[in-house]
A and B are shown apart, each in its own frame.
Chain A
């Protein structure tokens, strides 16, 4: 605890990530606290987007961080630490989901035709997003709901690329699929979400009632 406090409080100790990792490997394990601090919420949201449940997401996020700590020596400097950490979180979350849905088997082989073609259903003009939009809890909930309604393979790709901001290649590596698959799934995920959200967020944007009355597309 004292070591952690000192590392965090002393401005001279603002270390860049690479140095931090080296020092952790050299035995200053307490610095790991500092290393992961910027990524905590990302680890959580990756797990949450996959597991769709707060409690499970927290468990998975904790487990992922503990695994990263345990295996920090295996981290290769050519990757970004954040990417590595997110990948561990995604694996942890996927593993848990598989355990939860042991009986439910999703097809492993995707049919590329189906992935590639998606016809937008809604053409509502939705150009502006008021900056305060995400301050509204019900909007965040609707976004989370829409995301949760996507099929797993679309959701995972979307989460890694658009929420966790991994690159297409990093997303592909994390999920063990090709970059081409990432792109087609990403396209479909984005268009599906747009279709789900456009009428609510575009048309009935300022009206709470449009949500409350059940007049919503999802």
Chain B
């Protein structure tokens, strides 16, 4: 039996499956020995099968298995069901909100001060509205004579001013500041410098 190239191409896949009659197989092998093109087709096809059959071919997405088993868990009888799910969700929310609170409190208690010489205000009512300027370092009561950069003023609560790193004006905020701060020569100096 003699086969031509076209017949070989038609059977090359079955040949690789081991799914051709012995007579045809022998004829094809004979053909491959003589035909470079058909050998290239055979080798290439074999390579295709080998490459795609490799389990490395498709990577599962990160966390795929965990998500899959988690969903499966939810279908198991005795799974704590929605109530449990809600509890987990609620706990998560509490944690998240809690972490925001912690973050916020850490910001208000230790803001990056705009004036490195100033002391943080600890006794100023946080909800009091104060005036700040964009380029300034201090917050003031409205009408304080030490407000500078008057073109870019904003009125915001003390809490916000603190979180943005503003420090209290040594003059108009004097009554809220601790004695040590007021008497600190550095603070006064810095405020005086700012005020000038």
Contact = CB atoms under 8 A, between A and B. Distances in A.
A168 B14 CA distance: 11
Interface string A196-210: 011001100000000
Given A62-B71, A191-B13, A123 B41 contact: yes
A134 interface: yes
Interface in A161-216: 162-163, 165, 168, 183, 186-187, 190-191, 193-194, 197-198, 201-202
A40 B64 contact: yes
A134 B57 contact: yes
Contacts of A61: 64, 68
Interface in A125-178: 125-127, 129, 133-135, 140, 143-144, 147, 158, 162-163, 165, 168
Given A123-B36, A133-B51, A162-B53, A194 B45 contact: yes
Given A29-B77, A40-B65, A62-B67, A187 B58 contact: no
A9 to B, nearest CB: 15
Contacts of A84: none
B21 interface: no
B44 interface: yes
B28 to A, nearest CB: 14
A71 interface: no
Nearest to A133: B51
A127 B43 contact: yes
Contact of B64 (A44, A49, A120): A44
B9 interface: yes
A41 B55 contact: yes
B75 A125 contact: no
Interface string B7-43: 0011011101101000000000000000011001101
A33 B43 CA distance: 40
A134 B56 CA distance: 7
30 contacts: A32-B72, A33-B69, A37-B65, A40-B68, A62-B67, A62-B68, A65-B72, A66-B71, A66-B72, A69-B72, A70-B75, A117-B10, A118-B9, A119-B6, A119-B9, A126-B44, A129-B47, A134-B56, A135-B56, A162-B48, A162-B49, A163-B53, A163-B58, A183-B13, A190-B16, A191-B12, A193-B48, A194-B48, A197-B48, A201-B51
Interface of B: 6, 9-10, 12-14, 16-17, 19, 36-37, 40-41, 43-45, 47-61, 64-65, 67-69, 71-73, 75-77
The 5 A-B residue pairs with the shortest CB-CB distance, nearest first, are A45-B58, A187-B13, A194-B44, A123-B37, A134-B56
Interface of A: 1, 29-30, 32-33, 36-37, 40-41, 44-45, 48-49, 54, 58, 61-62, 65-66, 69-70, 116-120, 122-127, 129, 133-135, 140, 143-144, 147, 158, 162-163, 165, 168, 183, 186-187, 190-191, 193-194, 197-198, 201-202
